[in-house]
């Protein structure tokens, strides 16, 4: 490669939709897309919303670069911006890629386009890495778009947006399906928590939990109640991550309110059942709102075991702890739970047990 850069070019994108579970969900599809176009993927900064602050978290703070590099060619955002960008992507070549032109949200007089830097997190994301765009390119006419498994798709990408003219493809949002398709879920095995996060998880477990332990994800903040209002009992349509427990197109059953927002009794009953089934010695609870520690401990009294939480629930450590549990109980609709489920299914010799609220196991 000329001056140490990839002659096939690069893909850089903003994981601009949703929070961490959504961002990871789409990231799996982006990995598959980059591999299929045989370009180096610039590992994103993940976006954390601590209102009013928007924080950029470099991929390598959360995950091991070496492991994801076993799946496809990657480079960290840091290395790309410091060493590569100026060589392969002069400012006058910086086009934004999106599906098709759309109207701006704020500037109502603006021409339709990608508006790649309009609003939060779009603007802050590219500003953070010092990128501005001189124009837009649309890929909606390519058969399948980012679904390059479709006939003729890869050829079209090369014809229209080949590396001679476009060494860098910069996407204003993740070039991947949401929710993710089943065929990319196993790519999760290339996402290994960074040693810092793994150490924090191990330390927490050693200091607080007796093994074997059950881990529980409770998704119960106010925003979630509104999500569950969208359950379509008639058409039984997939909702966010729901295919993780009901299969693609929900061929395995009906999405219910209990799966999305189980009530307190259903939660406690499920935990007690699973504790009994594996003879658990402790329970770990992660939540975005109400960990229900008192209610759970009341129900666990006869078993003489206790439920624990992180006093400040750091979401990344919580995910890693849940990944390491002996049995996981998740929320079927939550993409946050799905991270744990995929990790347990695919990072190991064989799948480790996961269960979902509202889903009766055989
Ligand atoms: O990750 P996420 O897209 O998953 O959004 P869902 C949920 C966010 O809530 C996480 C926080 O990124 C965390 O910031 N959160 C959830 C938690 N559970 C926990 C937890 O156990 N511990 C901690 N510390 N934080 C949906 C989206 O969220 O939310 C939809 O799929 C939609 O896009 C909806 O926006 C409102 O899939 O659960």
Does position 2 have pLDDT exceeding 80, yes or no? no
Q: What would the pLDDT profile of 290-331 be if each residue is shown by its tens digit?
A: 999 999 999 999 999 999 999 999 999 999 999 999 999 999
CATH number of 2-171: 3.40.50.11340
> From the CB of residue 178, how many other CB atoms can be counted at a distance below 10 Å?
16
Tens digit of pLDDT for each residue in 217-228?
999 999 999 999
Place of tokens 């837009």: 136
Q: At CA 137, angle to CA 135 and CA 142, rounded to 5?
A: 180
pLDDT in tens, 18-61: 999 999 999 999 999 999 999 999 999 999 998 889 999 999 99
More confident residue, 150 or 216: 216
Pick the atom of ligand 1 nearest to 338's CA.
Answer: 37
- pLDDT bucket at 362, cuts 50 / 70 / 90: low
Return the percentage of the chain with pLDDT > 70, whole number. 99
Range 193-356 classified under CATH 3.40.50.970? no
Task: Please tell me the distance between residue 335's alpha carbon and the centre of ligand 1 in angstroms.
Answer: 7
**Residue nearest atom 21 of ligand 1, based on CA coordinates:** 287
Which residue has a Cα nearest atom 1 of ligand 1? 21
Residue-range domain boundaries for the chain = 2-171, 193-356
d(CA 227, CA 80): 37
Q: pLDDT tens digits for 71-126?
A: 999 999 999 999 999 999 999 999 999 999 999 988 888 899 999 999 999 999 99
């Amino acid at each position: 490669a000329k001056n140490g850069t990839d002659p096939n070019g690069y893909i850089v994108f903003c994981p601009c939709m949703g929070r961490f579970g959504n961002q990871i969900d789409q990231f799996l599809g982006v990995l598959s897309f980059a591999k299929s176009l045989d370009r180096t993927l610039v590992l994103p900064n993940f976006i954390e919303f601590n209102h009013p602050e928007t924080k950029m978290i470099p991929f390598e703070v959360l995950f091991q670069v070496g492991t994801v590099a076993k799946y496809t060619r990657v480079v960290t955002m840091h290395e790309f911006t410091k060493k590569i960008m100026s060589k392969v992507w002069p400012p006058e070549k910086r086009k934004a890629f999106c599906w098709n032109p759309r109207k701006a949200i704020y500037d109502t007089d603006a021409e339709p386009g990608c508006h790649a830097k309009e609003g939060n997190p779009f603007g802050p994301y590219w500003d953070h890495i010092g990128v501005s765009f001189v124009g837009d390119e649309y890929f909606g006419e390519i058969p399948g778009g980012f679904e390059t498994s479709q006939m003729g798709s890869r050829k079209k990408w090369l014809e229209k947006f080949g590396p001679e003219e476009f060494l860098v493809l910069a996407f204003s949002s993740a070039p991947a399906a949401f929710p993710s398709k089943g065929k990319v879920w196993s790519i999760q095995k290339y996402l290994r928590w960074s040693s810092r996060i793994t150490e924090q998880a191990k330390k927490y477990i050693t200091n607080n939990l007796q093994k074997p332990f059950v881990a529980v994800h409770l998704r119960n903040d106010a925003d979630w109640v509104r999500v569950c209002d969208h359950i379509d009992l008639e058409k039984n349509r997939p909702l966010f991550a729901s295919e993780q427990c009901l299969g693609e197109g929900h061929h395995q059953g009906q999405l219910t309110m209990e799966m999305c927002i189980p009530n307190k009794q259903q939660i406690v009953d499920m935990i007690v059942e699973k504790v009994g089934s594996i003879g658990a010695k402790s329970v770990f609870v992660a939540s975005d709102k109400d960990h229900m520690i008192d209610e759970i401990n009341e129900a666990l009294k006869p078993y003489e075991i206790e439920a624990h939480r992180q006093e400040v629930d750091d979401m990344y450590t919580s995910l890693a702890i849940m990944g390491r549990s002996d049995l996981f109980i998740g929320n079927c609709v939550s993409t946050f739970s799905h991270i744990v489920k995929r990790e347990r299914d695919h990072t190991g010799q064989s799948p480790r047990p996961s269960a979902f609220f509202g889903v009766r196991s055989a």
